[in-house]
Amino acid sequence: MIVPTMAEMMAQGKQPEVLFWVGAAGSYDDKAKKISRAFVKILHQAKVDFAVLGTEESSTGDAAKRAGNEFLFQMQALMNIEILNGYEVKTIVTCDPHSFNTLKNEYPSLGGNYKVYHHTQFIQKLISENRLQINDATLKGKRLTFHDPCYLGRANDEYESPREIIRKLGVNLTEMKRHKSTALCCGAGGAQMFKDAEKGDKEVNVLRTEDALETNPQIIATGCPYCKTMMADGVKFKEKENEIVVKDIAELIAEANNL
């Protein structure tokens, strides 16, 4: 599976349609790498001309900013913006809502102006342009619930793209009682992923997993690498990993289309 870099593209005098921003989780975390691979397969199937930054990509600085280190955030952002602008990048797609939110809403004031898509938005766009079809037979009738990522839903008011894609999978979607604008965080946002738990009687991800379990799902669908990890850990805590799979929407499409 060929994944060209921007440097290789530029050497050939080419400009790709989109830059795929892989993100820290999608590059290093084993669970999230599966999301990156699945999304690349989808891009290939839809014949999208894309590239990645490769070793030139660095953290967006999201976690640093949320943890209160504005200086480190701006250092990261300015370094990334210099590289992106150097390649004259216009359009970015990412599987990580944290990167999506930061690139879309926080880079413009520092000189980084791009059209930024979350991968569910971009997949929805590919479907509407008839560049991608989803096979609705593979997962037909499976009981599925969807967990809204905070940085996609409440922070950016995007609730429909993931759901429109899910409906095309032929699954039986049941919403959790807390969903869309009332959805509960998975417990990893705002740099919480990287710190010890605070005092309390329950982890946030376990509480959110209980919301999901009430829908009696076979699949918990996510749209964020951090959410996937937290929900999978919650399922494991509840000793349900033999009955329930936690997968990103990109992985479900790749599975449906036998990619």
pLDDT at residue 116, rounded to an integer: 98
Is 182's pLDDT higher than 90?
no
Where do the DSSP E strands lie in the chain? 18-21, 50-51, 91-94, 115-118, 143-146, 172-173, 219-222, 245-248
Beta strand 219-222 with 245-248: parallel, antiparallel or unpaired?
A: parallel
- In 3D, which of 248, 243, 38 has the Cα closest to residue 142? 243
C-beta separation of 149 from 224 below 8 A: yes
Mean pLDDT of the chain: 92
C-beta separation of 221 from 247 below 8 A: yes
pLDDT at residue 195, rounded to an integer: 67
| 114-124: average pLDDT | 98
Query: What is the spatial distance between Cα 35 and Cα 149, in angstroms, rounded to a whole number?
Result: 15
Is 234's pLDDT higher than 80?
yes
Is 194's pLDDT higher than 70?
no
pLDDT at residue 112, rounded to an integer: 96
Give the whole-number percent of the chain exceeding pLDDT 90.
78
Tens digit of pLDDT for each residue in 242-256?
Answer: 999 999 999 999 999
Is 105's pLDDT higher than 70?
yes
pLDDT at residue 203, rounded to an integer: 84
182 versus 9: which is more confidently predicted? Answer: 9
Element (H, E) at 255: helix 249-256
Count of other CB atoms within 10 angstroms of residue 173: 17
Query: What is the spatial distance between Cα 127 and Cα 83, in angstroms, rounded to a whole number?
Result: 31
Query: What is the spatial distance between Cα 21 and Cα 35, in angstroms, rounded to a whole number?
Result: 12
| 157-186: average pLDDT | 92
| 17-34: average pLDDT | 92
